[in-house]
Structure 1
Amino acid sequence: MQVFRLYFKLLNRSLPTIVIYIIVFLVIVVGSSLNAKQNNEKMFKESKVDIAFINYDKNSAFIDGLKDYLGSRCNFKEIEDSKEAIQDALFFRNVSYIVTIPKDFTERFFDGEEVKVQKLSVPESTDSVFIDMAINNYFDKVKLYINHSQSLSEDEIVKSVMKDLSSEVEVEFYSKTAKEEDSSFLINYYNYIVYAMLSTLILGIGAIMISFTELDIRRRNIVTPLSITSFNLQQILGNITFTLGLDVILILFGFFLNGKVLVSQKSLLFILNAVIFSIVSLSIAYLVGILVKSREASNGVANVIGMGSCFISGVFVPKELLGENVLNIAKFTPAYWYTTTNEAVGKLTNHTLENYTGIFQNMLIQFGFAISFFAIALVISKKKSVEVI
């Protein structure tokens, strides 16, 4: 096993650079995962909106009730009652919404007339929708009591409406997949493996292949007692060992970061997809090792392929933000099909053979890339072997 031992002696030379790439990968993953976790943990919470309330009507229980109801959802700001002051308040975002109650509004409203409050808001503001819903909700409840409880006074109607509006209902969402784990961490983590796999394997295997494929070294190996078949088998065994070792390290890192998530049915599919992609990365690294002639060139290729694949395949930039032309180009890269598989696995709700069909098809496409790269590498290697003689 001389070649096998030599393989890992050569790998040790590239170990510092490989470790740097793995550390960069971990920093990116941890930062992304923590950010995703914070976003997932954020629950909807009503935030109070700054508004101004201008009343030209007389003081009444109806208007006071509206103001009290809005006060539970808004912060009232005092502004000068002039056109210029109102425009300035909206322009400088001192308030997001200004509601003006016109004269005789209460009387006309209780008489059944179609009356409206005057509203001004910041253009295209979501806050305005929030306030509109609150105002309409209050008015609709009051109209309901006016139409069906004529015997009640204005004060009694307002008290009943405020009591109704203060009631809260607890809502629970139920689905058959309610207990399914949140896959956001798995998708993020395994997507970023694209960078670690490609960069690390190209650096490691590329550097080793460069050493083995130097013309003088190949000529010397030919005259040794070791057969070419044994030499190649030991080299292949070294490549497989290095690749599987990297798989184990990256999977264990993911387990360390979030073990509860990784122990799941989906995680097995993510791991299987990662192992398949590592085979693709191995084929790319093998091809690069045959083509390039220096370690400096190998480092450059590792950066270009690793970073380039991440940018166009949906790792660093979500696919939703990429143009159609970019995605069409990305389909010619195995990283695209790898990340697409991860996203499909993350969306799984029912683990049936029908749902697995598209996932397994994407994995087969990745295998096709691996076979193609290996085939090209063997053809080039065969041509280069002629130069040895």
Structure 2
Amino acid sequence: MTIYNMIIRIFSKYWKELLIYFLIFLGFVFVAIGQPEGDENQTFSSVTLDIAVVNQSDDPLGEHLVDYLSESHDVETLSDVTIVDVENEVFSGTYQGMLYIPENFEELVLNGQADQVELLLNERDMSSAQLNTEVDKYLRLANARVASGVSDISELTDQLDSTLNETAEVELIGGLDHQNVLLAYTTGIALVGYFVLQIILGTVGMAMSEIKSKKIQDRINLSGISNLRYNTQVVLGQVTYGGLILLITLLVLWVYIPSSIPIDYVRIIISLALFVLNALSMAFLMTALTNNRNIINALTTVVSLGLAFLSGLFIPYEVMGPTIQRIAHFSPLFYFRQSVMKDINSYTDLLTEWGFLLAFAVVFTLLGVAISQQKRAGKG
């Protein structure tokens, strides 16, 4: 494990750079996630939202849902418009959310089928999560009544009115309900992925440029170590370093995020671990292509910022054109964002995102190994 030990020693020389990165990272987490403000306990008071509704159904249940939302929000029912038109209005800030009720809405509810309505929220406005909460509450109650044997629409709407009109005091965290606060924290965690990518590409790039210096490479070549053993120990050294980055990042999030926030840490750990592997494999490929520090630093900035914008971390993914959205699916940062922000019922709903993250890591690593072996063989 000579090469492995050498890599660990070289990585340890860059603790100052790593410390600087993490100090910036702490500031970034503070700004990205923030802290809820206000009194510790408050009585719930809903925010009046500007909502666009596209109601394709002519049945009483669809109208009842619209009336329910109209009681506490400014609802505008739109006709002769496309979903794309409404999407543009939502993400330009005209509406905080859009509700699309399909033509067979009543049938979907009575049959207990999935995807009964479609919601579009402006993720930049935390209060828009309230729309998701209220529609979800309405549909859960309706589905529960249907499951209990209610099949008459008039009886169903009467029971919904009776239940929904009940009032209750809800304890708030800093003036925001749990749904809004959770959205704020998961958005911040998705943004942390960008910073982890920046840290790993930057520090691994500097360390690997030293490892691949002529002096060290001459010593490695004289040792007679095989290409396979060399690349295996390089990868193990980087994985060890990546594990340290992962642990520090998780520690920062665990300390900073209040215990009252229902964060799924199993999901975060798996997603972040897979993304760290991606960042390491990208750094491995990058340093296999070039040993020039200036080029590595430039690539670090361009790649990390480019993937962040492409993945919808700085600009909402939904406002991008169809072509850009298709290109975004070739970004591992996009799948990391999806894996921490996607609404799921079980972990199986994340197998696609996790699978793509693992696939990207394997592809980048194999490309790096192939290029590295070709270069070493050429020098041999």
Amino acid at match of 1:172: A
Residue 3 to residue 39, structure 1, CA distance change in 2 (3 Å): farther
Counterparts of 2:361 and 2:256, CA distance in 1: 30
| 2:370 is aligned with 1:379 | yes
Residue 223 to residue 276, structure 1, CA distance change in 2 (3 Å): same
Residue 265 to residue 372, structure 1, CA distance change in 2 (3 Å): same
Counterparts of 1:321 and 1:44, CA distance in 2: 30
Equivalences for 1:206-355 in 2 at 5 Å?
206-224=205-223, 230-260=229-259, 266-344=264-342, 347-348=343-344, 350=345, 352=346
Amino acid at match of 1:25: F
> Secondary structure of the equivalent of 1:183?
helix
Amino acid at match of 2:28: I
Amino acid at match of 1:377: G
Q: Is the 8 A contact 1:309 1:333 kept in 2?
A: yes
Counterparts of 2:314 and 2:358, CA distance in 1: 23
Counterparts of 2:16 and 2:323, CA distance in 1: 38
Equivalences for 1:120-269 in 2 at 5 Å?
171-172=167-168, 182-224=181-223, 230-260=229-259, 266-269=264-267
Counterparts of 2:37 and 2:183, CA distance in 1: 11
Residue 246 to residue 277, structure 1, CA distance change in 2 (3 Å): same
How many residues align? The count is 256
Residue 236 to residue 247, structure 1, CA distance change in 2 (3 Å): same
> Secondary structure of the equivalent of 2:313?
coil
Residue 197 to residue 182, structure 1, CA distance change in 2 (3 Å): same
How much does 1:372 deviate? Answer: 1.2
Q: Is the 8 A contact 1:194 1:306 kept in 2?
A: no
Match of 1:159 in 2: none
How much does 1:310 deviate? Answer: 1.6
Amino acid at match of 1:357: T
Is there any run of 5+ residues in structure 1 with no aligned partner, and where? 48-168
Identical aligned residues as a percent: 21
Counterparts of 2:319 and 2:250, CA distance in 1: 28
How much does 1:215 deviate? Answer: 4.6
Counterparts of 2:364 and 2:224, CA distance in 1: 31
How much does 1:265 deviate? Answer: 6.9
Q: Is the 8 A contact 2:194 2:333 kept in 1?
A: no
Question: Pick from 340, 349, 369: which aligns with 2:360?
Answer: 369
Counterparts of 2:360 and 2:335, CA distance in 1: 10
Counterparts of 2:307 and 2:357, CA distance in 1: 14
Residue 261 to residue 238, structure 1, CA distance change in 2 (3 Å): farther
Residue 378 to residue 237, structure 1, CA distance change in 2 (3 Å): closer
Amino acid at match of 1:387: G
Amino acid at match of 1:299: N
Q: Is the 8 A contact 1:14 1:203 kept in 2?
A: no
Larger Rg: 1
Quote the RMSD (CA, aligned, Å): 3.3
How much does 1:379 deviate? Answer: 1.7
Q: Is the 8 A contact 2:328 2:334 kept in 1?
A: yes
Is there any run of 5+ residues in structure 2 with no aligned partner, and where? 49-164, 171-176
Q: What is the TM-score of this pair, normalised by structure 1?
A: 0.58
Q: Is the 8 A contact 1:199 1:306 kept in 2?
A: yes
